């Protein structure tokens, strides 16, 4: 087994990282209200770029959400489900040994992986299913890439008695078999999508098409802070509990606010969930960490803010990985949850406003962070979240001991068994699989 490396990051990513460490200079802001009351645009980003046939569904959802977001009965039901079904609040764990070893800032990990189904995704799944119930829907459609969002959706649907249809690109369907199994065990129907590149985008498109064909009885439970309005707002709203808990937990633990919050960014739901509560606290630096993949070459990463261009796709205006002619590029990341071409329009806006900085971590850096955390702190982190931790480990030595950095541990790493084991113990894994085949 290779030795984990603590600090050997010196690469092209330095340039981007610098931007992320500059403190926001914006004067007193009111981002929270701006987002909370948004009509779908965040600065120039966002919008509702959908075929007219979907208009009623989006209007109905917006309407229902606006009624629910300040309805005490709805919020009480949400809180109770968070607590009783998902196990909230999740812990905020000081990473004392790792911080000492790095010799700089004190790192804290928000343990979203302790949620039911193992990641923050359950937060917006519970929220959206409660909205769907309010709308009288009987059928939930969702897309999934790695299967995490599909797994959480299937679980919540089972609990609330809704039919559940999960679209999954055929390639993902085949490489994420264990999650397909969990979804099916939970009673969901998992449909492999054979169109296009047979990955996440194709699953999103298939889900929208299903909604076109079944507009009355279905709710499309979109899995990140992306898509047409009101999805970015809805998912931010249901995820903001993450930042709210962090704020009270860190205040209790250190008697004040953190200096920095760091989250990985696939579409942006865990990042917005962590950042929202801190948006108007100017002293808190907020950084999103994208998937740097294998290299900065097109198709070998999924870093859309760092390398993408503005465009309109899957219903919203934001940064996308695309070629010069407006075609969407393939993406790559060792973590399936970050392997997506677009980013939340809310994050794009906050980036333009210099409120949220962006950086990226590579596949290798993320894998290394998983190993370091396992061995120093006894926590097995999801590969997605490990991108955020890798960035924190890189910058921590630049700060003094009284500097506090909170990392969003958006998921736990057991789901990555086949990927991390192949990386760390390939021979043992192959021997095991072989023995299983033979027995």
Partner 1 sequence: MKIMAHTVIAYPDLESTKVVCEKYIAAGMEILELQIPFSHPTADGSILTQANRLAAKEISTSGALDFVEELKTQHPDQKVMLMSYVNKIFSFGIQNFISRMKKMKVPYLIIPDLPFDSPLAQKFHEDDYVQLIPVLSANTFSDRLKLAMSSKPDYVYLMADFKITGSQFSLHENIKNLISKIKELHPAKVGLGFGISNAEQVNQCLEIADFSIIGSALTKACDEGRIDGILKEFQAEVL
User: Catalytic positions, please?
Assistant: 121, 143, 410
Binding mask 378-407 for ligand PLP (x = CB under 6 A): ----x-xx----------------------
266 and 293 Cβ atoms separated by less than 8 Å: no
* Rounded Cα distance, 361 and 371, in Å: 15
Asked if 224 interacts with ligand PLP (CB under 6 A), we say yes
DSSP H or E segment with residue 348: helix 345-352
Residue showing tokens 């702190």: 377
- 76 makes contact with partner 1 (CB under 8 A): no
To ligand PLP, the closest distance from the beta carbon of 337 in angstroms equals 3
Residues 393/6, Cβ–Cβ less than 8 Å: yes
Q: Exposed, middle or buried, 256 (CB in 10 Å: 0-12/13-18/19+)?
A: exposed
Helix, coil or strand: residue 204: helix
CB of 197 to partner 1, least distance (A): 8
Q: Is 217 one of the binding residues for partner 1 (CB under 8 A)? A: no
Residue 267 interface partner, choices ligand PLP, partner 1, none, CB cut-off 5-8 Å depending on type: ligand PLP
Which CB sits closer to partner 1, 113 or 267? 267
User: How far is Cα 135 from Cα 405, in angstroms, rounded to an integer?
Assistant: 40
Tell me if 410 contacts ligand PLP by CB under 6 A: yes
Q: Which stretch binds partner 1 (CB under 8 A): 203-211, 252-260, 277-285, 405-413?
A: 203-211
Alpha carbon 333 to its chain centroid, in Å, reads 14
Task: Identify which of residues 64 and 260 has a Cβ nearer to partner 1 in the complex.
Answer: 64
Q: How far is the CB of 169 from partner 1 (least distance, A)?
A: 12
Structural contact between residues 204 and 182, judged by C-beta atoms closer than 8 angstroms: no
What is the CB neighbour count within 10 angstroms for residue 373? 26
Q: Report whether 153 contacts 140 (CB < 8 A).
A: yes
Partner that binds at residue 417, options partner 1, ligand PLP, none, CB closer than 5 to 8 Å by kind: none
Say how far apart CA 281 and CA 422 lie, in whole Å.
Answer: 42
Phi, psi of 402 (to 5 degrees): -90, 5
DSSP E strand stretches across 231-354: 260-264, 285-293, 309-313, 316-320
Total site size for partner 1, rule CB under 8 A: 35
| Binders of partner 1 in range 294-353 (CB under 8 A) | 309, 311-315, 320, 322, 324-328
CB 378 within 8 A of CB 95: no
Distance separating alpha carbons of residues 98 and 101, to the nearest angstrom? 5
Taking the C-alpha atoms of residue 438 and residue 23, their distance in angstroms, rounded to an integer, is: 58
Q: Indicate whether 202 belongs to the interface with ligand PLP (CB under 6 A).
A: no
Binding pattern for the stretch 113-142 against ligand PLP, x by CB under 6 A and - elsewhere: ------x-x---------------------
Out of 55, 63, 297, 434, the only residue in the binding site for partner 1 (CB under 8 A) is: 55
Alpha-carbon span 396 to 393, nearest angstrom: 5
Does 208 participate in binding partner 1 (rule CB under 8 A)? Answer: yes
Binding string, residues 330-369; x marks residues near ligand PLP by CB under 6 A: -------xx-------------------------------
Burial class for 18, CB neighbours closer than 10 Å (0-12, 13-18, 19+): exposed
Instruction: Pick from 35, 242, 265, 356 the residue near ligand PLP by CB under 6 A.
Output: 265
Nearer to ligand PLP, 6 or 346 (CB): 346
- Judged by the rule CB under 6 A, the positions of this chain that interact with ligand PLP are 119, 121, 146, 148-149, 224, 264-271, 337-338, 382, 384-385, 410-411
- Judged by the rule CB under 8 A, the positions of this chain that interact with partner 1 are 47-53, 55-56, 194-197, 201-202, 205, 208-209, 212-215, 309, 311-315, 320, 322, 324-328
């Amino acid at each position: 087994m290779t030795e984990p490396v603590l600090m050997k990051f010196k690469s092209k990513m330095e340039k981007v990282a610098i931007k992320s460490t500059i403190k926001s200079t914006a004067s007193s802001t009111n981002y929270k209200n701006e987002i909370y009351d948004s009509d779908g645009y965040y600065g120039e980003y966002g919008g509702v770029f959908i075929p007219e046939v979907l208009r009623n569904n989006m209007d109905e959802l917006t309407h229902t959400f606006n009624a629910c977001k300040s309805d005490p009965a709805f919020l009480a039901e949400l809180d109770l489900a968070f607590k009783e079904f998902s196990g909230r609040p999740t812990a905020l764990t000081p990473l004392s040994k790792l911080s000492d070893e790095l010799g700089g800032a004190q790192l804290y990990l928000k343990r979203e992986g302790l949620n039911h189904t193992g990641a923050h995704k359950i937060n917006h799944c519970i929220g959206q299913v409660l909205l769907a119930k309010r709308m009288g829907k009987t059928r939930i459609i969702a897309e999934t890439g790695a299967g995490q969002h599909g797994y959480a959706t299937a679980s919540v649907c089972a609990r609330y008695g809704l039919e559940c249809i999960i679209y999954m690109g055929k390639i993902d369907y085949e490489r994420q078999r264990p999650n397909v199994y969990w979804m099916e065990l939970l009673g969901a129907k998992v449909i492999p999508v054979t169109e296009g590149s047979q990955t996440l985008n194709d699953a999103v498109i298939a889900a929208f098409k299903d909604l076109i064909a079944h507009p009355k009885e279905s709710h499309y439970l979109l899995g990140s802070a992306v898509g047409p309005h009101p999805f970015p707002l809805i998912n931010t709203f249901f995820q903001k509990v993450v930042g709210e808990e962090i704020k009270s937990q860190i205040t209790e633990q250190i008697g004040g606010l953190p200096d920095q919050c760091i989250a990985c960014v696939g579409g942006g739901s865990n990042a917005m969930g962590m950042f929202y509560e801190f948006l108007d606290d100017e002293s808190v630096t907020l950084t999103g960490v994208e998937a740097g993949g294998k290299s900065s070459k097109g198709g070998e990463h999924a870093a859309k803010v760092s390398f993408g261009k503005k465009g309109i796709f899957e219903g919203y205006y934001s940064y996308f990985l695309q070629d010069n002619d407006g075609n969407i590029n393939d993406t790559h990341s060792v973590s399936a949850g970050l392997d997506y071409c677009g980013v939340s329009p809310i994050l794009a806006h906050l980036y333009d406003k210099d409120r949220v900085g962006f950086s990226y971590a590579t596949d290798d850096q993320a894998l290394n962070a998983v190993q370091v955390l396992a061995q120093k702190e006894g926590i097995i982190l999801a590969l997605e979240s490990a991108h955020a931790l890798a960035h924190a480990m890189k910058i921590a030595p630049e700060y003094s001991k009284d500097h506090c950095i909170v990392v969003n541990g958006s998921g736990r790493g057991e789901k990555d068994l086949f990927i991390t084991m192949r990386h760390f113990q390939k021979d043992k894994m192959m021997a095991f699989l072989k023995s299983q085949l033979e027995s």
